[in-house]
């Protein structure tokens, strides 16, 4: 059963009673998405490239756990404003229906034309790459993580699965190794969580691992760069 709940920053999330967890942090869905994925993921990747003299004109992002699509919407809004071409693939085994997406209230955080286009195109994105606007393309990969395949590699990987206490299989060695196989050399992996096992595994897979400040309610989060 899915039901809406308001988080501490006033933004909405959805509580999944079958799993026993919210789709976003109860301390602030909007704050978490902006901090963990947009700022610490995409914007960090862009800043590193720009510092090395390679300004970003296009970016490919893979998300594990598309959920309510908040991470996509904020990312698409940022890329549209900054005229960056965005190729975004979100893996989601249980896609939410259009009516639930409409009820999130996320239109207040992004440009209205992007929201309207996304609402109209969302059903067509399932297993198809669809142009949302002049800069952004979205594909919702309706599959379980270990069944996901892609011929392309990605620049940034948003790992936004439910917590390991509820879905331990998503954080196991097999799942993580499969996930990072789609990340380019120099690509950035970000997630809201940080555990000793995850750090050790990523280091063993030739990643530089960082502990960085977490979103409200979490002291730290993990960011890793593929060497």
pLDDT digits (tens, 9 = 90+) for 62-94: 999 999 999 999 999 999 999 999 999 999 999
How many CB atoms within 10 Å of residue 79?
Answer: 24
Predicted pLDDT of residue 118 = 97
Predicted pLDDT of residue 54 = 87
Q: Which domains, from first to last, does the chain contain?
A: 27-226 (3.40.50.150)
Determine whether 213 is exposed, middle or buried from the number of CB atoms within 10 Å of its CB (0-12, 13-18, 19+). exposed
pLDDT digits (tens, 9 = 90+) for 87-145: 999 999 999 999 999 999 999 999 999 999 999 999 999 999 999 999 999 999 999 99
CA distance 161 to 70: 14
How many CB atoms within 10 Å of residue 202?
Answer: 21
Scan for tokens 């602030």, then name that residue: 28
Query: Please, what is the angle between helix 196-204 and helix 173-180, to 10°?
Result: 50
Tokens of 182: 């789609």
Residues 6+ apart with CB under 8 A from 108: none
Half-sphere exposure of 161 (CA within 13 A, CB side): 21
CA distance 146 to 215: 28
Query: Please, what is the angle between helix 112-121 and helix 70-81, to 10°?
Result: 130
pLDDT digits (tens, 9 = 90+) for 176-215: 999 999 999 999 999 999 989 999 999 999 999 999 999 9
CA distance 140 to 119: 13
Beta bridge partners of 157: 62, 189
pLDDT digits (tens, 9 = 90+) for 7-29: 999 999 999 998 899 999 999 99
Predicted pLDDT of residue 29 = 97
């Amino acid at each position: 059963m899915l039901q809406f709940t308001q988080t501490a920053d006033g933004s909405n999330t959805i509580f999944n009673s079958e799993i026993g967890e919210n789709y976003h942090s109860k301390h602030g869905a909007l704050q978490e998405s902006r901090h963990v994925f947009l700022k610490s993921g995409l914007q960090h990747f862009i800043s590193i490239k720009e510092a090395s003299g390679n300004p970003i004109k296009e970016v490919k992002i893979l998300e594990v756990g598309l959920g309510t699509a908040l991470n996509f919407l904020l990312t698409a809004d940022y890329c549209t404003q900054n005229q960056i071409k965005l190729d975004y693939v979100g893996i989601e085994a249980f896609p939410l229906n259009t009516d639930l997406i409409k009820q999130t209230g996320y239109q207040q955080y992004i440009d209205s034309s992007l929201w309207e286009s996304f609402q109209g195109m969302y059903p067509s994105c399932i297993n198809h790459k669809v142009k949302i606007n002049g800069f952004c393309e979205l594909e919702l990969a309706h599959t379980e993580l270990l069944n996901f395949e892609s011929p392309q590699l990605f620049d940034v990987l948003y790992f936004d699965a439910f917590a390991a206490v509820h879905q331990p299989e998503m954080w196991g060695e097999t799942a993580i190794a499969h996930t990072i196989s789609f990340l380019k050399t120099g690509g950035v992996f970000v997630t809201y969580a940080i555990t000793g096992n995850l750090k050790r595994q990523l280091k063993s897979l030739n990643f530089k691992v960082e502990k960085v400040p977490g979103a409200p309610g979490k002291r730290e989060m993990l960011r890793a760069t593929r060497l």
